[in-house]
């Protein structure tokens, strides 16, 4: 089976979707001729023409607002916000409009669209190229929020998102674009070509939204993770020797609660990890749900390992990023509690 990077898998997903459905259009800043600052749309304009894949003015609200109008018309726009850190000008359009059009019009109008945006840190991106704003979207009724962690899922989830009848926020951990990353920044990076999840089937397939997957079976503690933190969790489990069950959530909204509850009921312990800041982060929702649904099985307090409640710093990258040492520490504490 062909091996692809996450970038190639994402591009492949758009290629397949555009080939299958004329209503799929792709646009954003530098997305057209140049093929995107991360090369995710390379070649699409050449293949499908300038009216299917094109450059947009630097206006996130314009990109998302126009896409909403297109979706109302009947197209399936898959638009790009260059960095998740720059989605805020479009926040009104996403929250007040995209998320609510179906509800407020009782289905007269709908908004089948995808907003792709590179997310997450670990790349010395500083304050405005490292943020993980997923909790700002999981709080919004009417949105779906997806975070893939590998090329295989990235393609399948993106195709599923484009085909979904509702607006999807598709967060792409840019640290994973070229290879998995476990937080060991001092070791050489391995490319996706050496990872089994770099195997990406050709053609059309889709990975269902709302379904988590177990990345590592374990008996002692459940780690809830998504995006880059899946690999950090794997490293932490390996390094501590703790038999952790790692769940890659893949879709944050709607959430695969059944998979989470089944695992925590089995292990009796739970550690939630994400790059985003702690307070009111998505981990709070996960912890609350686990506490509510697994109260009698829990043998230790639910731990959260996250970014600190600060803006994402530059020089202090590895003091900020919740790496395997911090996750490992939380695992040990949870086992000892």
Partner 1 sequence: MPQKNMLSLHVPEPEVRPGGTPDFSNVPIPKAGSVPRPEVNVDPRAIRDLAYSIIRVLNREGEAVGPWAGTLTDEELLEGLRHMMTLRAFDARMQMAQRQGKTSFYMQHMGEEAVSCAFRKALLPGDMNFPTYRQAGLLIAGGYPMVEMMNQIYSNERDPLKGRQLPVMYASKEHGFFSISGNLTTQYIQAVGWAMASAIRNDTKIAVGWVGDGATAESDFHAALVFASTYKAPVVLNIVNNQWAISTFQGIARGGSGTFAARGLGFGIPALRVDGNDYLAVHAVAKWATERARRNLGPTLIEHVTYRVGAHSTSDDPSAYRPKEESAAWPLGDPVLRLKNHLIVRGLWSEERHKQAEAEILDTVIAAQKEAESHGTLHAGGKPSARDMFEGVYAEMPPHLRRQRQQAGV
Rule CB under 8 A: which residues touch partner 1? 22-23, 25, 51-52, 56-57, 59, 61-62, 65-70, 72-75, 89, 92-93, 96-97, 100-110, 141-142, 144, 165-166, 210, 254-255, 257-258
Of 241 and 254, CB closest to partner 1: 254
The helix/strand count (H/E) of the chain reads as: 12, 12
From the list 129, 139, 184, 185, the catalytic residue is 129
Residue of 15, 46, 41 whose CA lies nearest to 203: 15
Of 176 and 259, CB closest to partner 1: 259
Contact (CB, 8 A) for 283 and 302: no
Of 102 and 215, CB closest to partner 1: 102
**Cα 58 to Cα 28: distance, rounded to the nearest angstrom:** 8
Of 66 and 214, CB closest to partner 1: 66
Of 72 and 335, CB closest to partner 1: 72
**Cα 64 to Cα 334: distance, rounded to the nearest angstrom:** 42
Contact (CB, 8 A) for 39 and 80: no
Tell the smallest beta-carbon distance from residue 156 to partner 1 (Å).
Answer: 19
Contact (CB, 8 A) for 160 and 151: no
Tell the smallest beta-carbon distance from residue 142 to partner 1 (Å).
Answer: 5
**Cα 245 to Cα 213: distance, rounded to the nearest angstrom:** 11
Contact (CB, 8 A) for 188 and 52: no
Q: Are strands 114-119 and 213-216 parallel, antiparallel or unpaired?
A: unpaired
Contact (CB, 8 A) for 118 and 172: yes
Tell the smallest beta-carbon distance from residue 140 to partner 1 (Å).
Answer: 10
**Cα-Cα-Cα-Cα dihedral sign, residues 206, 264, 218, 239:** positive
Tell the smallest beta-carbon distance from residue 288 to partner 1 (Å).
Answer: 12
Of 54 and 312, CB closest to partner 1: 54
Task: Identify whether 129 is a catalytic site residue.
Answer: yes
Structure tokens at 192: 């996706």
Structure tokens at 54: 């094109």
Tell the smallest beta-carbon distance from residue 88 to partner 1 (Å).
Answer: 11
Residue of 201, 84, 225 whose CA lies nearest to 153: 201
Tell the smallest beta-carbon distance from residue 292 to partner 1 (Å).
Answer: 11
Contact (CB, 8 A) for 270 and 290: yes
Contact (CB, 8 A) for 269 and 334: yes
115 SS3 class = strand
Of 96 and 316, CB closest to partner 1: 96
Tell the smallest beta-carbon distance from residue 5 to partner 1 (Å).
Answer: 30
**Cα 109 to Cα 331: distance, rounded to the nearest angstrom:** 47
130 SS3 class = coil
The set of catalytic residues is 129
């Amino acid at each position: 089976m062909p091996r692809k990077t996450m970038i190639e898998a994402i591009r492949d997903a758009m290629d397949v979707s555009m080939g299958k459905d004329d209503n799929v259009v792709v646009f954003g800043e530098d997305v057209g001729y140049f093929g995107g600052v991360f090369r995710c749309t390379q070649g699409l304009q050449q293949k499908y023409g300038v009216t299917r894949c094109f450059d947009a003015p630097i206006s996130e609200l314009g990109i998302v607002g126009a896409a909403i109008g297109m979706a109302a018309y009947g197209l399936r726009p898959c638009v790009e916000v260059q960095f998740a850190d720059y989605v805020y000008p479009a926040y009104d359009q996403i929250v007040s409009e995209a998320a609510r059009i179906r509800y407020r019009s009782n289905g007269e109008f709908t908004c089948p669209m995808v907003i792709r945006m590179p997310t997450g840190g670990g790349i010395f991106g500083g304050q405005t190229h490292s943020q993980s704003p997923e909790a700002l979207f999981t709080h919004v009724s009417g949105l779906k929020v997806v975070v893939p962690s590998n090329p295989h899922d990235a393609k399948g989830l993106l195709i599923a998102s484009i085909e979904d009848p509702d607006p999807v926020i598709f967060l792409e951990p840019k640290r994973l674009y070229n290879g998995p990353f476990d937080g060991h920044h001092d070791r050489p990076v391995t490319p996706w070509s050496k990872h089994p999840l770099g195997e990406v089937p050709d053609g059309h397939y889709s990975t269902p939204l709302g379904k988590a997957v177990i990345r590592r079976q374990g008996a002692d503690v459940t780690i809830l993770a998504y995006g880059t933190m899946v690999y950090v969790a794997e490293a932490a489990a390996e390094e501590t020797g703790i038999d952790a069950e790692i769940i890659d959530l893949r879709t944050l909204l709607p959430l695969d609660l059944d998979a989470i509850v089944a695992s925590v009921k089995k292990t009796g312990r739970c550690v939630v990890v994400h790059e985003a800041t702690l307070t009111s982060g998505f981990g709070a929702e996960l912890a609350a749900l686990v506490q509510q649904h697994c109260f009698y099985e829990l043998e230790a307090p639910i731990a959260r390992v996250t970014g600190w409640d600060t803006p994402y710093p530059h020089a202090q990258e590895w003091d900020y990023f919740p790496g395997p040492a911090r996750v490992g520490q939380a695992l040990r504490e949870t086992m000892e509690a």
